[in-house]
Amino acid sequence: MGKTYERIEGRLRTFIERQPLFFTATAPLDADGTVNLSPKGVSGSFTVLDERTVAYLDFAGSNAETVAHLRENGRITLMWCAFQGPPDIVRVHGRGEPVFRNDPRFPALLSRFTTVDPAPHGLRAIIVVTAELIRDTCGFAVPLMSYDQDRSLHGDRFRREDDTSLSAYFEKKEHVVTSIDGLPGLPLPLPPMPSAPPAAG
């Protein structure tokens, strides 16, 4: 039923780029640590960088478990499933890295996201994932559901913040600077958002 792929291309790439929702799973090295599973769903916040590398925008939230786990061990799985059309589930198992605002690579990576304005969402990092195993399985048990639209609530909440107030917001949250299991999370203070790179040509 399932198949393993060498690259993210063709039908596989088209499928994952069309999905309005995907999930990320990470865990600390400690066998008793907390496994984290997160939904990601802001349209335009995911992109395929090349045949084995993908990236997504990490927005403001009440914790930073994914960032903390990636800083410790880099392990991550991304999953997409078809809620419409033919049943399919795609997983990318690999190594991830949070690229923070003050990283020299950040502006160029940000320029790859051309259909979403990250400003209202409190962008704090870009997660880059290098695939080690790419596979799909049947989605026979996944229900058929319709996608209506993105919620506006996240952007409505965080567009009120500037870099200083957003950094203060993160400092007040129990599990942003430090994960549930005590691992280093989002580095603070939050660096200012860098300028976009100049247009080519």
Residue-wise DSSP of 77-90? EEEEE-SSSS--EE
From first to last of its 201 residues, the chain has per-residue pLDDT tens of: 689 999 999 999 999 999 999 999 999 999 999 999 999 999 999 999 999 999 999 999 999 999 999 999 999 999 999 999 999 999 999 999 999 999 999 999 999 999 999 999 999 999 999 999 999 999 999 999 999 999 999 999 999 999 999 999 999 999 999 999 999 999 999 999 987 565 555
CB 57 within 8 A of CB 42: yes
Model pLDDT, residue 26: 98
How far is it, in rounded angstroms, from Cα 185 to Cα 173? Answer: 11
pTM: 0.95
Query: Do 136 and 5 contact (CB within 8 A), yes or no?
Result: yes
* Cα 106 to Cα 108: distance, rounded to the nearest angstrom: 6
Which DSSP helix (H) or strand (E) runs through 48? strand 46-50
DSSP character at residue 194: P
- Number of CB atoms found within 10 A of residue 16's CB: 21
Other CB atoms within 10 A of residue 120 CB: 19
Beta-ladder partners of 91 = 79, 135
Tell me, what's the pLDDT at 2? 82
- CA 191, CA 164: separation in Å to the nearest integer? 9
d(CA 150, CA 185): 27
The distance of Cα 132 from the centroid of its chain, to the nearest Å, equals 17
CA nearest to 127, candidates 72, 196, 185, 57: 57
Determine the Cα–Cα distance for residues 168 and 173; give it in Å rounded to an integer.
9
* pLDDT at residue 195, rounded to an integer: 72
For position 123, what pLDDT does the model report?
97
d(CA 106, CA 190): 14
